Amino acid sequence: MKLCTYYTCGFPDMESSFKIIRAISEFSDYIEIGIPFSDPIADGPTIQLASQKSLENGFRLKKAFPIINELSKEFPTKKYLIMTYYNIIFQRKEDFIKKSKESGVWGIVVPDLPPGEDTEFEEKLQEKDIKTIFFVSPTTPKNRMKYISRRTTGFIYYITVKGVTGERNKLPEDLVKKIQEAKKITKKEVFAGFGISNAEQVKELKGVADGVIIGSAIIKKVIESGSKDPTDDIKRFLGEIKENLV
């Protein structure tokens, strides 16, 4: 099972976020770079706080590309994704795709852009071999899931719980069954995200999902660290997660 991690670019500041993303890259197969947005509808309070702080510090999209470029060169076997909202992309689609390709971005996650809503954008991403990652959930009808699978060129992002991102004490009891059903419908890899925050939850999904996505739990460690360097704590945490993936 693969590990995809998420981190908000620019939190708590640009220099620290680069150091943290570099640390999580050592443990991850895929790394989602979160681009802060003022109205992040899919994000829970932890990621919202990180996004707000980053924006207050003057973060802009253009600051993310040099970070991704440097990391993708340092870790050439890792796959870097951008996770952002459509408002940020809409007015600069051509430039966004160009800079994403130049900086080594593997895939794009846009929570508020349903598959097929902007086919031109999807086609241009495909022309540049930048993958699309779309969402399904336990309530997604089978026919809709088939359609989402056809439009997805990367992996399927399976939302494990109702609501927004954030740590959960336990995963839904029928989650394993639901993911197994989804994997019968799609040939794409299925990664489970939203709410996964510890090694026990990862063990529950081993042999079921193709990958897990962890974000809020990492950011929470940064918040709790205060002025202390959080990278050692993050590495210990991800080391434990990694042990339970195989």
Residues labelled catalytic: 32, 43
The closest alpha carbon to 218, from 240, 191, 237, belongs to 237
What's the rounded Cα separation, in Å, for the pair 143 and 57? 44
What is the DSSP track for 137-188? -TT--HHHHHHHHHH-SS-EEEE-SSSSS---SS--TTHHHHHHHHHHH-SS
Give me 86's structure tokens.
């459509």
Q: What is the dihedral of CA 8, 132, 149, 141, to 10 degrees?
A: 50
What is the DSSP track for 26-85? TT-SEEEEE---SS-TT--HHHHHHHHHHHHTT--GGGHHHHHHHHHHHSTTSEEEEE--
Instruction: Identify whether the C-beta of residue 149 lies closer than 8 Å to the C-beta of residue 185.
Output: yes
Taking the chain, what is the end-to-end CA distance rounded to the nearest angstrom? 6
Q: In what order do the strands lie in the sheet with 190-193?
A: 131-133, 105-109, 79-83, 30-34, 2-8, 211-214, 190-193, 156-159, 135-136
